[in-house]
């Protein structure tokens, strides 16, 4: 059976009707807070894109997209998006968004290769956002400023949820802690990256781990990232460490684990794109539509990421399984076990 964690002494704090009310409240409130904090406006996004254009997000580079043939286009192949990391950047250019402003959208995806558990579903819903930046913003100090604004929106949301639903108490710290993946490796050299994430997030409650995708001093990356959206190879002048991206991690006592709420970062410029394609041995991607536009100077410098909608709602409503928040497909045995322990999957 897929991996399942049974929360200790779990009892849902809300019935299904209250849960649905909570989901709507959180989604409405958070997206407005996020849009205000980052000066974003909502745009309409695709569910699928044409294969072979380089537009789809490759995630860690190993996940297979769901593909299908389009009858009325001569059976041209299309694929369900994994996320919209590259599409958003093209949209910034097409809409002529000015520096300091950006866009966000409701992104829905299918990730058929996902390993199903309490936090991971084949159905992915997130707020995908992207903002135009200036050349002088391409540094870790600016990245931290943006992360802090996002975290403050999360804090505001938790406060409002606790006000509206008195059975829920706040658990987030007032500030988020920043640490580079190399510093984390040095702190826990005998631990795996996931174990390090758990230890540091439990210690501080909310952490942003910088530098995801590039090799650390031991020759291994903290985690994998595709080479053509986040900039994980540029060395920051102030810190001397590579990586202008990272993950927002929250400690979740219900499951006694660290939860990744968002993967985000400053995006590659022309030099970083070429460097990372070479480092990953994927120079052939330079001939794809998205990559040609970027290398040709048609796309603006940007920062962006995704924030899990169901995952944020799960965290705020203190649910034991993401299937209590969203409708998806789960193994029969998992459904039975969840029901037996008070987790009613939609």
- Taking only the tens place, the pLDDT of each residue in 163-211 is 999 999 999 999 999 999 999 999 999 999 999 999 999 999 999 999 9
The whole-model pTM stands at 0.94
- pLDDT at residue 71 is higher than 50: yes
Q: What does DSSP say about strands 48-50 and 76-80: parallel, antiparallel, or unpaired?
A: antiparallel
**pLDDT at 2 exceeding the cut of 90:** no
pLDDT tens profile 39-48: 999 999 999 9
Please, is 254 exposed, middle or buried when counting C-beta atoms within 10 Å of its C-beta (0-12, 13-18, 19+)? Answer: buried
Catalytic residue numbers read: 57, 111, 126, 247, 260, 263
Using 50, 70 and 90 to split pLDDT, how confident is the model at 118?
A: very high
Tokens at residue 160, please?
A: 């409002």
Please give the residue that has the higher pLDDT: either 90 or 60. 90
CA–CA separation, 54 and 52 (whole Å): 6
Integer Cα distance of 156 and 29 in angstroms: 9
- How high is the pLDDT of residue 61? 63
Hey, which residues does 230 pair with through a beta bridge? 267
Question: What pLDDT is stored for residue 114 in this prediction?
Answer: 87
Average pLDDT rounded to a whole number, residues 21-42: 97
Distance in angstroms (rounded) separating the CA atoms of residues 42 and 330: 31
Residue from 261, 296, 302 nearest 127 by CA = 261
* CB atoms inside a 10 Å sphere around CB 163: 9
53-67, 123-137, 301-315: range with lowest mean pLDDT: 53-67
What is the average per-residue pLDDT within 97-112?
94
Owner of token pair 């100077």: 297
> Each residue of 248-278: pLDDT tens digit?
999 999 999 999 999 999 999 999 999 999 9
pLDDT of residue 1: 46
* CATH numbers and ranges of domains, the chain: 16-340 (3.30.930.10)
d(CA 284, CA 301): 22
**Start-to-end CA span in the chain (Å):** 19
Do residues 324 and 23 touch, judged by C-beta distance below 8 A?
Answer: no
Phi-psi region of 297 (alpha: psi -120 to 50; beta: other; left: phi over 0): left
Task: Tell me if 320 sits within 8 A of 342, measured CB to CB.
Answer: yes
Mean pLDDT of the 237-244 span: 95
DSSP 248-262: EEEEETTTTEEEEEE
If 0-12 CB within 10 Å is exposed, 13-18 middle and 19+ buried, where does residue 342 land? Answer: middle
Mean pLDDT of the chain: 94
What pLDDT does residue 146 have?
98
Sole residue written with tokens 């439990």 = 202
């Amino acid at each position: 059976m897929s991996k399942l964690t049974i929360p200790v002494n779990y009892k849902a704090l809300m019935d299904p009707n209250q849960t649905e009310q909570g989901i709507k409240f959180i989604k409405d409130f958070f997206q407005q807070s996020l849009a205000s904090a980052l000066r974003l406006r909502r745009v309409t996004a695709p569910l699928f894109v044409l294969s072979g254009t380089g537009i789809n997000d490759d995630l860690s580079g190993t996940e297979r997209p769901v593909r299908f043939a389009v009858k009325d286009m001569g059976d041209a192949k299309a694929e369900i998006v994994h996320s919209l990391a590259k599409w958003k950047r093209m949209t910034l250019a097409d809409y002529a968004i000015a520096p300091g402003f950006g866009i966000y959208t409701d992104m829905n995806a299918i990730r058929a290769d996902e390993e199903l558990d309490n936090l991971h579903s084949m159905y992915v819903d997130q707020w995908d956002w992207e903002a135009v930046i200036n050349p002088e913003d391409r540094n870790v100090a600016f990245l931290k400023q943006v992360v802090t604004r996002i975290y403050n929106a999360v804090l505001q949301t938790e406060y409002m949820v606790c006000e509206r639903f008195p059975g829920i108490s706040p658990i987030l710290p007032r500030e988020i802690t920043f640490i580079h993946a190399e510093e984390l490796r040095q702190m826990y050299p005998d631990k795996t990256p996931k174990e390090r994430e758990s230890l540091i997030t439990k210690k501080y409650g909310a952490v942003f781990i910088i530098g995801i995708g590039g090799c650390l001093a031991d020759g291994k990356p903290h985690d994998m990232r595709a080479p053509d959206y986040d900039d994980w190879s540029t060395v920051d002048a102030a810190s001397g460490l590579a990586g202008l991206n990272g993950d927002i991690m929250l400690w979740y006592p219900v499951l006694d684990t660290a939860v990744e709420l968002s993967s985000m970062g400053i995006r590659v410029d022309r030099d970083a794109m070429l460097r990372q394609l070479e480092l990953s041995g994927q120079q052939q991607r330079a001939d794809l539509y998205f990559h040609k536009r970027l290398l040709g100077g048609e796309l603006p410098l940007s920062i962006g990421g995704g924030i899990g909608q169901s995952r944020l709602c799960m965290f705020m409503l203190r649910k034991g399984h993401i299937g209590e928040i969203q409708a998806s497909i789960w193994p029969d045995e998992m459904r039975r076990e969840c029901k037996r322990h008070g987790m009613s999957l939609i």
